[in-house]
Amino acid sequence: MTTNDAGADHVRPGEERHKGPVLLRGEQAGGPTTDQRLLDSGGPSDWVHTDPWRVLRIQAEFVEGFGALAELGPAVSVFGSARTAPRDPLYALAEQVGRRLAAADLAVITGGGPGAMEAVNKGCCEAGGTSVGLGIELPFEQGLNEWVDLGINFRYFFARKTMFVKYAQGFIVMPGGMGTLDELFEAVTLVQTQKVTSFPIVLLGSQFWGGLIEWLRGPVQGAGNVWARDIDLLRVTDDVDEAVELVGTRR
């Protein structure tokens, strides 16, 4: 569960939820998400019969995303934990990332939520950059943070994740949880399979990411499941300026 600290005392989980462009509060906020209904093969048969029509909604999300971001210009997607508190040093580091990217004339794209995402958007916005947030319909999130200048709310993860890659020239990945790891490994897979090219992926924080790199170079590579060059796609640094330089080289 993640909310902004300011609202943690009075906002209950699930009290407010976004369903695409629709805001739901109170009793209206219950029920499954759009993604849950799509992926529930064991659900009622009436949902199964509506799947062909659901394709139109999926198509609409791609059209809306492409239309909103078509004129964005050079941008970098930054990922990190929604649970990073404002007092956490990682929050200040994320703000610095946003400021440095804005100073390099790069827009920032985040998941639009709280924590590290909010901090990146805040740093970019305060530095006069273009701050983008791509939200997702979740039962425990409270919508886009206040530092997002251009925001889109998605129902489907796969549509949202397409936008993170399509409109960015690289990723900066800060310490995070399952969602951050999901986005990281999807990006690495796309680069490794040459679905995208010249796409730098920078892991910010050697203490946090060092164990992952050791695991990849140890049992994963040792079992013959990856090549050394696949692991070399991940650049690890503790320096924000170096991270920005690495993702800013593709123009």
Please name which of 87, 217, 238 lies closest in space to residue 172, comparing C-alpha atoms.
238
The least confident of 15-19, 125-129, 165-169 is 15-19
**Average pLDDT along the chain:** 87
The least confident of 72-81, 160-169, 242-251 is 242-251
pLDDT given for residue 29 in this prediction: 62
pLDDT given for residue 158 in this prediction: 95
Instruction: Please give the single-letter amino acid code of residue 211.
Output: G
Q: Answer yes or no: are the C-beta atoms of 135 and 152 closer than 8 Å.
A: yes
pLDDT given for residue 113 in this prediction: 94
The pLDDT tens digits of the residues spanning 139-157 come to 776 689 999 999 999 999 9
Class of domain 64-247 as given by CATH: alpha beta
Please name which of 103, 143, 150 lies closest in space to residue 127, comparing C-alpha atoms.
103
Q: Residue 74 carries which DSSP code?
A: S
Look at 48 and 239; give whichever has higher pLDDT: 239
pTM of the predicted model as reported, rounded to 2 decimal places: 0.81
Burial class (CB in 10 A: 0-12, 13-18, 19+), 18: buried
Q: What would the two tokens of residue 142 be?
A: 């409270």
Q: What would the two tokens of residue 22 be?
A: 């629709």
What would the DSSP string read from start to end of 165-227?
HHT-S-EEE-S--HHHHHHHHHHHHHHHTTSS-S--EEEE-HHHHHHHHHHIIIIIHHTTSS-
